[in-house]
Structure 1
Amino acid sequence: MDIAESLTRKGAAAVIVNYSRSADEARATAERLEDLGCEAEAVAADVSDDAAVRRTAERVRAAHGRVDALVCNAGTTRWVPFPDLEGLTDQVWRRLMGVNLMGPFYCARAFAPDLRAARGAIVNAASIAGPRATGSSWHIDRVGEQVFSEMAAKEELKAPLRRTARPEHVAQMVTSLLESDLVTGETLIGDGGRHLGY
């Protein structure tokens, strides 16, 4: 279960599924949510583009009139070995910061009036590379599915709970944070305790 489905099952009346590249997956998610009784729409917008984010906010405002929750879950990475400083080019750096740093800010700023009016909440999802200097994330497209699967299995064995986060775990954390009336400004790490060993 992903975040959108978890929110729908908790009673969300409408969900906007934002995407910048995976149009087919976004539309499939919207259709699945509609089957569950939620009004859903896939909307294309690159979160690193402030104008695109503002257009999305206007579209949501016009269609639904209110926003109770904003989940910023977009992210990108580029695998670069720590010693290879030249490998982290200006273009790569701008893309990483545009999506991972500016994106959540642009979204929060664009939706702020609606969230204030509804006394809504924002949840930003990010990589463990945010609070921990672990370097670039592993990539299936870099090492292949089999090697990636083997690496993930080894990571699970290193976690105290012998599990690492899957989509349903992230959905559970996001949903529980949105249901918590007095939690704000917190960082919640859900990786089965793996971060304790870094």
Structure 2
Amino acid sequence: MDRMKNKVVIITGAAQGIGATYARALAAEGAHIVIADVLDGAPLVEELEGMGAEAIALKTDVSDEASASTMAAAAMERFGQIDVLVNNAAIYASLKMKGFEDIDLSEWDKVMAVNVRGPFICARAVAPHMKARGQGRIINISSGTPFKGTPGLLHYVTSKGAILALTRALARELGDFGLSVNTLAPGLVLSEGVVANAEMRERLTAPVIASRAIKRDQMPGDLIGPLLFLASDDSAFMTGETVVVDGGSVMH
């Protein structure tokens, strides 16, 4: 399994949860991994190195332009290239569900800073390095929620809707340089954070499963195949698209 052999992949928010699942899967396919997270990615680096992969962990605040630039520069210094950026970092599972009237403006701004400004800043940080080589893939992580208008999480749903638009416009701007930009949109995944948020599980799990054509919980592993497709040459002539993976709750 070497679809990603010697490819350098930056994954934001990869120190734990679904991002860590992405890192393990890409490493198993031969990729060199850059874990960019505000959390400590050293334990995952040790795990990946135990698999025989090359990996580094960078303390990165995706909402900060200087931090994102440092991330890209450090990846280039270590590996000499950047092939894939997975914009995974986001605020979600820690949110409390509430009516839109009760969302504090500071919370709204924090969600937008990480979930929307973050992918924009990180894409801008890596794009010059990708353009210089005439190749690269940016994978933005959205959600099935913008297609449904899920209530109780207006700031999160709005932020993930913005990612769909960002992907389409960015794909137009970068296509002439040989870069592709696509979106992976999961459904409600039983990540570590979601499992820990009892209210979210109680309010969302049953109706979400009932809405699916395949009626079961979605696990992080369900996203591995689609992610590898978007990260590899398997999707070479595909850009500006959104791949929804949620068991058929959203049929996009």
Task: Please give the TM-score of this superposition, normalised by the length of structure 2.
Answer: 0.67
Matches within 5 A, 1:74-113: 74-77=89-92, 78-82=95-99, 84-85=100-101, 87-113=102-128
Q: Aligned pair 1:10/2:29, yes or no? A: yes
Q: Which residue of 1 aligns with 2:214?
A: 161
1:39 aligned to 39, 51, 54, which one?
54
SS for the counterpart of 1:163 is coil
Task: Provide structure 1 residue ranges, at least 5 long, that are not aligned to the other structure.
Answer: none
Cα distance 1:153–1:34, how it changes in 2: closer, same or farther (>3 A)?
A: farther
Aligned residues of 2:72 and 2:125 also touching (Cα < 8 A): yes
SS for the counterpart of 2:242 is coil
**In the aligned structure 2, how far is the partner of 1:173 from the partner of 1:121?**
14
Q: How much has 1:63 moved relative to structure 2? A: 1.3
SS for the counterpart of 2:144 is coil
- Report Cα offsets for 1:125-176 as digits up to 9, x if no partner: 12222343113278555536xx837953663343111234321122221111
**In the aligned structure 2, how far is the partner of 1:8 from the partner of 1:104?**
22
Structure number with the higher strand fraction is: 2
Aligned residues of 1:70 and 1:122 also touching (Cα < 8 A): yes
Aligned-residue identity in percent: 29
Count residues in correspondence. Answer: 188
Higher relative contact order, structure no. (Cα contacts within 8 Å, ≥ 6 residues apart): 1
Q: Aligned pair 1:71/2:89, yes or no? A: no
**In the aligned structure 2, how far is the partner of 1:182 from the partner of 1:164?**
32
**In the aligned structure 2, how far is the partner of 1:186 from the partner of 1:134?**
21
Amino acid of the residue matched to residue 224 of structure 2? Answer: A
2:242 aligned to 178, 187, 190, which one?
187
Residue range with higher mean Cα deviation, 58-67 or 72-81? 72-81
SS for the counterpart of 2:34 is strand
Aligned residues of 1:163 and 1:191 also touching (Cα < 8 A): no
Task: Please give the TM-score of this superposition, normalised by the length of structure 1.
Answer: 0.84
Aligned-residue CA RMSD (Å): 2.4
Q: Which residue of 1 aligns with 2:6?
A: none
Amino acid of the residue matched to residue 173 of structure 1? Answer: P
SS for the counterpart of 1:192 is coil
SS for the counterpart of 2:236 is coil
SS for the counterpart of 1:122 is strand
Aligned residues of 2:69 and 2:125 also touching (Cα < 8 A): yes
Task: Provide structure 2 residue ranges, at least 5 long, that are not aligned to the other structure.
Answer: 1-19, 157-187, 189-193
